[in-house]
Structure 1
Amino acid sequence: MNEGNIHLTSAEIGSLWTGYMQDSMSKCVLSFMLKHIEDQDIKPAIQYAYDLSSNHLEQLLTIFEKENYAVPNGFTEQDVNINAPWLFTDTFCLTYVNHMAKVGMIAYSGFVSMSTREDMRNYFILALNETATLYNQTSEIALSKGINARHPYIEVPKETDYVDSKKYFSGLNPFSDKRPLNAVEISHIYMNILTNVVGVKLCLAFAQTSPSKDVQDFMLRGKEISQKHIKIFVDTLMKDDIDAPQVPDTAVSDSTTQAFSDKLLMYHMSLISASGIGNYATAAAASQRSDLMINYERLSLEVSRLAKSGADIMIKNEWLEQPPGIKDRKKLAKNKQKG
């Protein structure tokens, strides 16, 4: 099939744009990490992640040229100061890349499912496989160094069972005992604790290195929200005598020198927020206790409000790059009439 005769769909155009934005941001962050990281067990994984982003950008530029697609501005060397003092521990770099690989796998699987053209599907499938390899690599390194965060253990089921009462789905009545959490609910609560821990550290690092008061305040607010959500999730586990996750050392240094542009920081947080809202929606759909569903809905709204305030800051400072879209037909008609 001659792909040149088949136009890109809106889904493919949007997926390519999103992929370019995310890979150009990742390349900046990873270049800073590579400049400073010392652990020789961890460094190859960070290098592999950097190489993936670089290769993806090259492939995307080839696609853009072929399709006469305007190249997004994205992020460049101007958005990172690799000579700034070290900001993260080496362990945090590993945890960060592992987390972003999870985000990437979800994104690429969506891109694959929305793509029609064979060349687009092939590109996104390859990127998905490469990102899965990165996830495996970082997970293995964390496991070998004893710094991986493992989900809680519960007993393996010895027999099958069925829900025998509507009470299984209840959980809002404070005067009645809630049924214990099931394995699916535990897994989502645990994962959302880990992602919020990463969010707290990123917000701290970004707040202390940004020269902008608006960005600092936004990041500190994001940190407080993540800490609040962590407490809610940990308390939910503890009520069933389930241990909270043992998170590896993900400390942030005391450097206040700007390492990344405010534009990059705010875009990064918008990406993290969108990922968090998606995680909460998935967790709510998978949970069978009503109190958990309500909690996820409430917390998602809180993250959405934070994301909205972040978007306002980006618009105010002209940092928010607009995704491709269709022309405003009414506006075109009015402009024509004026002419």
Structure 2
Amino acid sequence: MNKVNERNIPLTSAEIGSLWNGYMNDSMSKCILGFMLMHIQDEDIKSVVQYAYDISSNHMDTLTAIFESEQFAIPNGFSEEQDVNMNAPWLFSDTFCLMYVNHMAKTGMLIYSGLVSMSYRDDVCNYFVQALNETSNLYKQSLETGLSKGVIAKHPYTNIPKETDYVDSKNYLSGLNPFSNKRPLNVVEISHLYQNILTNSIGMHLCIAFAQTSPSEDVQNYMLRGKNISKKHMKIFTDTLLKDDIESGQTNVGTSNSTTQTFSDKLVMYHMDLLISAGMGNYSTSASTSQRSDLMINYERLAFEVARLAKSGADIMIKHNWLEQPPGTKDPKRLAKNKPKG
């Protein structure tokens, strides 16, 4: 049987959206990573960041080739010429750069696994499978480098189970009554609480860096609001762990005191939107896998707060014409009104 020519198979809406998002994310990553490479002193960390930069650069070349073959309008995205001030003073510590790449690799693995599942055409599916493998390798490389330098904050240790057990009471699911003792956290709940502390820590440091270097009052206020929300959420998760005598050790990573604009406001707002989307997904997963009712309610409440922040961010981007619109379908009512009159 003759194999069908892939180019004769039209892209589905899911594939169009996936490719468009992929280009936007990689063009943004290339800008951030390119600036980091200008300043990193630690050669081991620089090697990891260089690998991440090369992945994004190669992705953009592949995506551009697909767009051109499909006569697909290439997104504007971001560029190192327009969206980065390469002459700006150093903004991040080397350790932060490593933690940033590690975090973005985790996010990338989740995103690419979802994009693989929405792809049908061989060339598109193969591209996302390869991207997932590359991102997995990046995560492993960043993890090994971090562990060797003692800068990776590990999840808390607990006792190894020696026997199996079953839930024998509905009280296992309770937790809202302030006058009753809550059962101890289980390992699934601990892992999600700690992971959300780590992701909020990265977000908080980026908000600080973006706030102090943006010339826009709208962006400054938005980033400071994001910083305060991340800080508040970290405290809630940390306090929950401490009630069970579980410490949440974190690596001390940070930013410099530079106030020179480093990245365009369009880029930093898009970046925060991406992190917020990933964070809301994390909260949703955490809520669905937590069995104590107080934890589920907390995640839902905090997710709503993050959603309001996302809405404010979108309003700012629209106000300043920074929000690039994804491809969409044609509005039949609009087409009917605008058709030539015979």
Which whole-Å deviations, capped at 9, do the CAs of 1:15-57 have from their partners, x for residues lacking one? Answer: 0000000000000000000000000111000000000000000
Summarize the alignment of residues 214-293 of structure 1 with structure 2, pairs less than 5 Å apart. 214-244=218-248, 246-293=249-296
- Aligned-partner SS, 2:20: helix
Give unpaired runs (5+ residues) of structure 2. none
Other-structure match for 1:83: 87
Of 53, 58, 61, which aligns to 1:58? 61
TM-score by length of 2: 0.98
- TM-score w.r.t. the length of structure 1 is 0.98
Within the alignment, does 1:191 sit opposite 2:195 as a pair? yes
Q: CA deviation at 1:337?
A: 7.7
Give me the identity figure in percent. 70
Distance 1:165 1:328 in 2: 54
Find the aligned partners of 1:171 and 1:332 in 2 and give their Cα distance: 55
Of the three residues 60, 64, 68, the one matched with 2:71 is 68
Per-residue CA deviation, residues 177-222 of structure 1 (Å, 9 max, x unaligned), is 1111000000000000000000110000000000000000000000
Give the 5 Å matches for 1:152-171: 152-171=156-175
Give the residue type in structure 2 aligned to 1:31: G
Amino acid at match of 1:61: T
CA distance 1:334–1:35, shift in 2 (3 Å): same
Q: Does 2:302 correspond to 1:336?
A: no
Residues 238-274 of structure 1, C-alpha deviation per residue, up to 9 Å, x if partnerless?
A: 0011011x22231110000000000000000000100
Supply the distance in 1 between the matched residues of 2:214 and 2:309 (Cα, whole angstroms): 18
Structure 1 residues not aligned, in runs of 5+: none
Amino acid at match of 2:101: V
Q: Distance in 2 between matches of 1:86 and 1:123?
A: 34
1:10-89 alignment to 2 at 5 Å? 10-77=13-80, 78-89=82-93
Deviation at 1:338, TM superposition (A): 7.1
Alpha-carbon distance between aligned partners in 2 of 1:74 and 1:295, rounded to the nearest angstrom? 35
Q: What is the SS of the residue equivalent to 2:339?
A: helix
Instruction: Identify the match of residue 11 of structure 2 among 8, 27, 39.
Output: 8
- Is 1:150 paired with 2:183? no
For residue 302 of structure 2, what is the aligned residue in structure 1? Answer: 299
Q: Could you tell me how far apart the structure 2 residues matched to 1:338 and 1:271 are?
A: 44
Aligned partner of residue 43 in structure 2, secondary structure: coil
The 5 Å alignment of 1:173-184 reads 173-184=177-188
Which residue does 2:330 correspond to in 1? 327
Whole-Å separation in 2 of the counterparts to 1:30 and 1:227: 25
Secondary structure in 2 aligned to 1:96? helix
Amino acid aligned to 1:327: K
Amino acid at match of 2:14: A
Q: Which runs of 4+ in 1 moved over 4 A?
A: none
In structure 2, the residue matched to 1:121 is 125
